[in-house]
Each structure stands twice: as structure tokens, then as C-alpha cells.
Structure 1
Amino acid sequence: MIKNGKQHLDSLRDGREVYIDGERVGDHTEHPAFRQAIRSAAGLYDYQARPENIEKMTYTSPGSGAPVNRMWQLPTSYAELVERRKALEAWAEQSGGFLGRSPDHVASCLSGMVMGLDVFERYDAQRAKALWNYYEYARDRDLYLTYVIVNPQGDRGKDPGQQSEGLVASVVDEDAEGITIKGAKMLGTASPMANEVFVGAIQPLKAGEEHLSFTACIPLNAKGVKMFSRKSYEASAVSTFDNPLASRLDENDAVIYFDEVKVPWDRVFVHNNVQMAHAQWHVTPAHVYQNYQCQIRFAVKSRFLLGLARKLTEVNGVIKFPQVQEALGQIAAEVAMVEGLLHGMEVAGTHHGKYFVPNRKMLYSAMVVTQQLYPKLLTQIRELAGGGLIMLPSSYKDFGNDAIAPYIAKTQCSPTTDHMGRVKLFKLAWDAVGSEFGSRHLQYEMFYGGTNMVTRGHAFRSYDWDRAVGQVDDFLGGYTLDVATAPVPLQRVA
């Protein structure tokens, strides 16, 4: 049976500890801070369960023989990679790309680690076995995973191992049954709507920080797991009409504190090894696969924003202005560039063992470009929309007041739609680019992959410098001082 939305909702009613606005939440699936976003996430599972979508969205699990989402698929060819991408793309289109930590993100990360199972086996055969068994467990249940892999900022002038006791999640005990961890991790995006949390360290560790070098998967209702949510934009949304994104797609970020949480060995994939804590990301395909999913989602999101920009100019009656078409052409070129990089990293992919992996160089190029592109896209939309983003009715209630409704109709006019359609579009645009929800997305897109220094470092390390510098060296080798004044024919270097 294919997992559907009701099954996912039922699985979240598990008694987990969720705190927001100074209190512990009872059934968080019904709380106004989380309710609609959780249902949007459940809607993804309803989408995959529709008869017309089953072939596109699912494949047959090699373990259970039942259909599961293609996010768990381990492609062995270019064709299978594209087949998987189309499923992830369809899911992203359900939210316009605004669900940044949809179920396919961490599933992609875990799948990438499994593709590099040989790397785990070189370090610890037992941990490798635990990883494979957990992957099968999560796959066959179509689990929604989130992760916390970044340390709380604390004193950023100190190394993780130098922070105050109890701040950074670390192993404080171990026995024959497993490890016990205590401390916090960030960012816990979408944790209210996920089943389990993957805990690890993506930031480099050094000798002496072995107690921080663990990776494990933990049910979010496990004893001692405490979730501290940030402010809910959903709870602050006036209505779906006024906040069409924030009211339904706020995937609440959270600090997750592990208060002496016991984790059995069969859920521990890295332990007491700083080298393996790093290798799990960058020697296996994990970092490539998780960020490849991000680029799929970003391509969908940027296309959504491009469509939004075009509609704003049509509603404002400026679409035929040459300067407006030029601005839209610039945005279109940049969006097409993202799509081109996405397709390029697929076509130029290579095998890691039997598995087909997107091209690392193009992936990291895309990460650098999109990190800079998102704030630019929002600025371009603001410029095209102008003051119309600000001068809107205060809420949907204004339309129900007979004394002011005629004035709204008169002042919110458009050559292409009625006053209701104009307000509806501009409310959507403001939610995307100017609201608290929109500002959070700006921060997310700028930093989810790391700071500019981090993403540019990945691009630097993955580029084929031998080929680039070799071209220069070959050219320099084609002439000498002895022939400084004599014409030398250019020759193609083989």
C-alpha cells in the first residue's frame, strides 16, 4: 500500500515534546502554529498515492516489494537519475519550491551515504550494517526525515569541543546497548512534520572532538528529545488569502535538544571517529545528492518567482514596456541558467561504484550561483512591482465592509483582472518577497548550504584546475623569446 496523507498525519501523533510561545504543545498536528503546514506535507503523500501519479512518483522497494517514493531510489544510470528527478520536481511544484525541507531532502542525503556504503565499511563494518538496515527501514516505511547537523552558534570564536558543557550535542555515555547523547543541534527545519531526525556533524572536527563525531537517526518522540520552535508565521497569518504561503507552508525551524537521549547501536552510523564524520559527507555521494535535491527544488522555486514577476507586470499593464521586457528577460536567462546547470550535472554525471551520481563540479557551481541569485530575484520582483506591494487592503475583511469595498474596487484596478484578482496576486507576491515568511526564505536560501566562503570552497576544490591551467601552460609553451618578433602559427594542442 502506498503511503498517503492520512497515514502520515496519524504517524505524527506520537506524543513528542514540542514547545512554542512558552508552553508545551499537546497534539501539535492540531496546533495553529503547525496545523496547516503539516497538512501541506501530508498532501505530498496524497499526491504520490493518486492512481495517475503512482508510476511517476514511486518505484518498487527491493525489500518489501511495495511501492515507495522515488526519493529512496538509488539510480544506476542517467535515465534512472532523470526518472527520480522528475518525481522530486513534481513534489516541489506542489509548494512552488517553498517547502525547503520536504521529505526528499534528507532521504537524498541518506541515499547518498548508502551509495558510499563501502566508505563506511572501511571504517567500521558494524556501523555500515546499521546504516544499510536503517535505510531499508526508512525506505519501506516511506519515512519523513529531517536533520540537525549544525551546532548552536554559541561562542563562534571557539571550536565545537571548547563550547560550554551541554551546548553542543555529544556522546556522554555508551554501553552494550548504545550511546547516550546530550546537547543541542540546529536547525531542525520541518521537524514538526517529520517522523525522525538524523543527527550528525557536517562541520569539520579535529582530534580531541571524538565525542562530537557521531551520526544517528532518532524518532522525534524518543525520550529526552525536546523541540523548541521559532516563532510560527502560520500562527501569525491573517488568512490564506492574505498570506497564501505563510499560512500553509511554514516548515517551522527548531532547536532540538537531546537531554540524555539513549540511541541503540542499530541506529548509530558513525561513532568516535572524526575522519569518518567528515568522510560520510564528502567521500560518499551524500553531500552531492542532498544538494542536488536542493537544486531541483530551487529550479522549481525560481521558475515560480519568474512566473510571479511576469504576472505582476501584466496586472500592472507594463508588460509591453521595452525596459520591463528587458528586466524579465534578465530574470528568465538566470532561471534558465539554473535549469541548465541542473540538466548539465545530470548529463555529466559519473558512477560511484554501480550508482550514477550528478557531476560534483557543476553542482557546486550551481550552489554558488543560486546562493547569490535568490536575493537578486527578490529585488528584481520588488522593482517590477513597485508600491503596489505595500498599498493593499489590510486584510480579506475589508472586502466584506460595504462602506469601503467600492473604494477597493476603484483603487485596485488592472487592465487584465478585477480588483479581487489584483489584490490576490499582490498579496501572494508580498508573502513571497516581503513578509516575515519571505524574509526567512531569503535567509534560508542564502545560508542553507553554508556561508559564501563554504560553497565557494566546494567549487574551488571540485573544479578541474589541471585542465584549465594546462590550457594556459600549453599556450605559453607555444612561443619563446627567440621568436618574439616572428609570427608563430597557432596549433591545436591534442
Structure 2
Amino acid sequence: MIRTGDQYRESIRDGREVFIDGERVKDVPSHPMFKPLVDIRARIYDMQWDARTRDVMTYTEEGQTHGIGNKLPKTQGDWWDKRRATDTVLEEVGGIVTRVGDETVGEMWSLFDGQDVLNEVDPRFSENIRNHILRVLHNDPFHVSANTDPKGDRSKPPQAQDPDMLLHVVKETDAGIVVRGAKYETAAAYANQAFTKPTIANWGDSAYSDYAVGFICDLGSPGLKFICRTGFAGRRPIEDYPVSNRFDEVDALVVFDDVLIPWENVLFYRHTKAAMFIRATLHRYSAFAYVQRNLKLADMLIGAALFNARQTGLDKQQAVQEKLAQLAVYREGINAHLTGAITLAERSPGGLLMPNQSLLYTGRVLACSQLHEMMHIARELCGGQICVTPDAATFAHPEAKPWLEKFYKVNEDWVAEDRRKLLAFARDILNSDYAGHRLTFQLFAQSPPYAHLAAVYRNFDWDGPLDFVRKAAGLSDRVMGPTTRTPGDSAVSRWFDAGIMNRTAAE
């Protein structure tokens, strides 16, 4: 039920059409711009078998072993297990990988919660989502997500321009639907399947639309073309760019050139209510995995900044300590939201246990909205040398080496080579093309800031503050208007009771 790394590598040798850096790729697993991430994903599969890590990475049910990331979350313990497994992966590979499956399978759980909506369209669709969730558990595919279309002129409806700017159904057959258009997908060129769904936010009064379609796409299907952005791996020596060369997750424009989607892979079709439901609940579970990556990035910023301050004794200065404390507050703020989201988790409409939605979404706003500021604080603490230090080849040059060893050695503990490595690492996570790409990637992977705040608005318990002020100001009950709460029941007590209930269930 769990695959090996080599089985994964072979599964993407299926003749898919992949283009990158001006060439058609002959073999995805061995191509220098894909190989680093293919190897990391393969390593994650092998960690499920490795005696050192298999107990953290897997669970056993009915005599079968499955990956913990794919498990339907039903208890607090499930979420702690997922968090522990993700941390283990990131520490094992020594960096951050975002699109490896555990963060996108959660989007399917949102559809699991929406089976009543799917049944309004066709009962087969809710059966399909149940079957695919089981298939993910049993086949252990590398599962990614397809959201963003090229869109074209956003002032016009899709029918008023080239209709292919948004993915849509062009034909129905006995075997399934035929779709045409394109999607931007991270890691699609080296993944097995993608949950594909629309990005239209406003369907107006339309109840039905050929653009309202969601399905599981086998990424080896005929008619798919993967047109990738140039990767960072291999462009500069790994000694100078140790992060860019190992952790670049290549994005692709995936072209659907009349691709057949079998009916058993269709999760919703034409019904705009289903499309609106999935857009509103898409990150109900998956946001947790994304925010957890930001926590590990905060650790990277702190480690790089603190090492740079300590090597010259600047960590003794109050001004430096205050900036380090700002990084620590940011890090612990993310940690607190993730921990609280598990501890006060909520039962979902489908009977799953979802992270506390208000805490999860406010934690995402904290993690994303302050990231650029934290990166700049880390730059200040690392100092100007991250932008003026020569490359590794110059450090090795016989004539330059003695001078660089002289001027880059700080003391017996910090010799020139260690200092060069630290500065190269800091430059790569803060100043490089890759660093800028990763910062912008937050707007794509985690959705834009306005969507973050909209999610907070929809999930925050506004009744609690209103009821508190109603009582404190002596207002009548009439001013409250419609409410989902029991009068006198505070948000804090409900969250506390939910935490006790869920802890009991987990135990």
C-alpha cells in the first residue's frame, strides 16, 4: 500500500510531454532541473520503509500500511501525527518542500465534507470522491493540485474571449468528459495525479456552467503538455546556492488539449453550487500544511541570522537581541496558531476533524503577511556580506585563497570555509532569485492576501464580541440579530469545551 522511491520514479516515466528551458525532456527523473525534487519525493517514499522513520511516516489499519499524510483526520492525534511526519521530512531533507502531496490531499477532504452538495448534482459524484480518497490511501500516488487558469482578460466573461482561457468541458462521451484549457500547477511535471478545479469567484446567477468542473486528472493522460518555467537547479554551483539547487519546485503551465477524463474521475460537473463550495472550503485542511512550512522557514531565518550574529559577538548587543526577538515572536506566533488549531479542532460537516478554522486562517495571515518583514530583519542581522562575498571557486583559487582565509576567518571556531557556507546559505534564502520566487510563491500557493482575510471574515466567531458588548452596555437581546450561538455561551468556553471533547476522542 506504500510505494518505494524507485516505484515512484518509474511511475512518471510514462512518455509525458514536458518542456523546460527550450527543450523537450526525454527523462523527467534524471533531468537536472527536476532530479533534485524527484529525489526528495522518492526519499519521502523510502522514509515510509526506513526503520528509522517508518513509525512516524506510516500507520497500519486492517493489516495494511498507509502514509500518515493521506490519512483522513478524525482525531487530534491524527493531526499531531501529520505535523510530526511533516517536520520529520523537512528535517531529513534539510530544507522546505511544499508540493509533495500531504498539503494537497486535504483539498479532497473538503469535497468529502460536501457530499450533500455533490448529491444534488449526481449521487455518482459523491461516490467518486469517496473512491478517490480510498485510492489515495491504497495506491499512495504523488497527488498535487490544479487551481489557477491563464484567465486572459478578467474584465470579460470567458464566453466573450478565447473560451480556452479557463478550463472547460467541450464534449461528453460514454467514457467521460473531454476538457480543454490550461492550468498552472506546481510539481505537475513529476507528479502522478492532480485535483483539478475552477478558480472563478463569481458565477453570478448561473446555476450551470461548463466551466464548473472538478476532477482527478491522471498526469500521464494523452493530450497533456507540461510547459515549465526554467528551474533554478543547475544554473549556478551548489556550493554558492545550496538551497536553490536542492529545493526548487518547478511550476508548469499544464495544457489540456482535449483530454478525456473518465466519469469515475469526475468529482463535480456543471453545477456552480458545487464549484462555489469547493472554492470556499478549499483550504479548510490544506492550509495547515502550508502554514507549517512557514514555521520551518522561520526557523531557517532565525538560524541563519543568529549564527551570523554570534560569530562576531554581535548577539550581545541589545539592538541585535531585539531584532532576534522579533523573529522569535513571529515564529512562536505561527507555532501558537498551529497548536491552537489542533487543540481546539472542530468537527466538520462530513464527520472529520478539521483544524479550528478561525485560528488556522488567522495564523495563515500572520505567517504570510509578515514574511517579507521577517526576511528583511534576517538580512539586517546577516549584514552586508551576504551581497559582497565571492563565490566558492574564488575561495578555492590558489592565489585568492590565502587572502580570503585571512579575512573571512573570525576565530578558531569560525574558519573561512564555514563562514563562506553560512553566508552562501543566507544569501540563497534571502537575496537570490530563488528567495524572491519563494516569497512571491506564497501568493500562488496559499492564495492572495484578500482571500486570506475573506476566509478569516467567514470563520471568525463575531457573535462572541457582540454578545460581550451587548451585556456590558446593557443592550437588549434584539440588537444581536440572527445568531448560531446559545445566549450566554462565550466563544472561549465553546472552544475550551471543543478542545476537551476532541482530546477525549483522541485519547
Normalised by the length of structure 1, the TM-score is: 0.91
For 1:161 and 1:380, locate their aligned partners in 2 and report how far apart those are by CA, in whole Å.
47
Q: Who is 1:216 aligned against? A: 215
> Does structure 2 retain, via aligned residues, the 8 Å contact 1:160–1:168?
yes
Q: Deviations over 1:143-173 (max 9, x none)?
A: 1111211121421323445442322211000
Please state whether the residue corresponding to 2:253 is helix, strand or coil.
Answer: strand
Please state whether the residue corresponding to 2:169 is helix, strand or coil.
Answer: strand
Q: Does 1:226 align with 2:225?
A: yes
Q: Does 1:47 align with 2:43?
A: no
Post-superposition offset of 1:97: 5.5
Listed as ranges, the matches of 1:20-31 within 5 Å are 20-31=20-31
Post-superposition offset of 1:413: 2.1
Q: Who is 1:257 aligned against? A: 255
> Does structure 2 retain, via aligned residues, the 8 Å contact 1:96–1:301?
no
Listed as ranges, the matches of 1:136-215 within 5 Å are 136-186=134-184, 188-206=185-203, 207=206, 210-215=209-214
Q: Deviations over 1:438-489 (max 9, x none)?
A: 111010124432222111111112111111122222222179xxxxxxxxxx
Unpaired runs of at least 5, structure 1: 480-491
For 2:207 and 2:166, locate their aligned partners in 1 and report how far apart those are by CA, in whole Å.
14
The amino acid of 2:179's aligned partner reads I
Post-superposition offset of 1:17: 0.8
Q: Deviations over 1:10-38 (max 9, x none)?
A: 21211111011222111121112212221
For 1:440 and 1:190, locate their aligned partners in 2 and report how far apart those are by CA, in whole Å.
15
Unpaired runs of at least 5, structure 2: 477-487, 491-507
Post-superposition offset of 1:95: 4.6
For 2:465 and 2:79, locate their aligned partners in 1 and report how far apart those are by CA, in whole Å.
29
The amino acid of 1:16's aligned partner reads R
Normalised by the length of structure 2, the TM-score is: 0.89
Post-superposition offset of 1:120: 2.7
For 1:92 and 1:109, locate their aligned partners in 2 and report how far apart those are by CA, in whole Å.
21
Assess, with a 3 A threshold, how the Cα gap between structure 1 residues 315 and 154 changes in structure 2: closer, same or farther. Answer: farther
For 2:419 and 2:489, locate their aligned partners in 1 and report how far apart those are by CA, in whole Å.
60
The amino acid of 2:127's aligned partner reads K
Assess, with a 3 A threshold, how the Cα gap between structure 1 residues 451 and 473 changes in structure 2: closer, same or farther. Answer: same
Q: Deviations over 1:396-445 (max 9, x none)?
A: 22233211111110122224411000010110111111111111101012
> Does structure 1 retain, via aligned residues, the 8 Å contact 2:95–2:247?
no
Q: Who is 1:350 aligned against? A: 346
Q: Who is 2:299 aligned against? A: 303
The amino acid of 1:469's aligned partner reads L
Deviates more, 1:203-212 or 1:102-111: 203-212
Please state whether the residue corresponding to 1:378 is helix, strand or coil.
Answer: helix
The amino acid of 1:224's aligned partner reads G
Assess, with a 3 A threshold, how the Cα gap between structure 1 residues 115 and 262 changes in structure 2: closer, same or farther. Answer: same
> Does structure 1 retain, via aligned residues, the 8 Å contact 2:99–2:187?
yes
Q: Who is 1:91 aligned against? A: 89
Q: Does 1:74 align with 2:72?
A: yes
Q: Deviations over 1:202-235 (max 9, x none)?
A: 4424117611111111121211111110121113
Q: Who is 2:326 aligned against? A: 330
Aligned-CA RMSD value: 2.1
Q: Deviations over 1:247-286 (max 9, x none)?
A: 1111101111100001100011010111101213435xx5
Number of equivalenced pairs: 475
For 1:190 and 1:441, locate their aligned partners in 2 and report how far apart those are by CA, in whole Å.
14
Please state whether the residue corresponding to 2:210 is helix, strand or coil.
Answer: helix
Q: Deviations over 1:57-114 (max 9, x none)?
A: 111255xx43121111112222222222211232233455521212211122223433
Q: Who is 2:388 aligned against? A: 391
Q: Does 1:312 align with 2:329?
A: no
Please state whether the residue corresponding to 2:275 is helix, strand or coil.
Answer: helix
Q: Who is 2:32 aligned against? A: 32
For 2:423 and 2:267, locate their aligned partners in 1 and report how far apart those are by CA, in whole Å.
48
> Does structure 2 retain, via aligned residues, the 8 Å contact 1:96–1:304?
no
Post-superposition offset of 1:128: 1.0
Post-superposition offset of 1:122: 4.2
Post-superposition offset of 1:115: 4.5
Please state whether the residue corresponding to 2:284 is helix, strand or coil.
Answer: helix
> Does structure 2 retain, via aligned residues, the 8 Å contact 1:96–1:300?
no
> Does structure 1 retain, via aligned residues, the 8 Å contact 2:207–2:271?
no
Please state whether the residue corresponding to 1:319 is helix, strand or coil.
Answer: helix
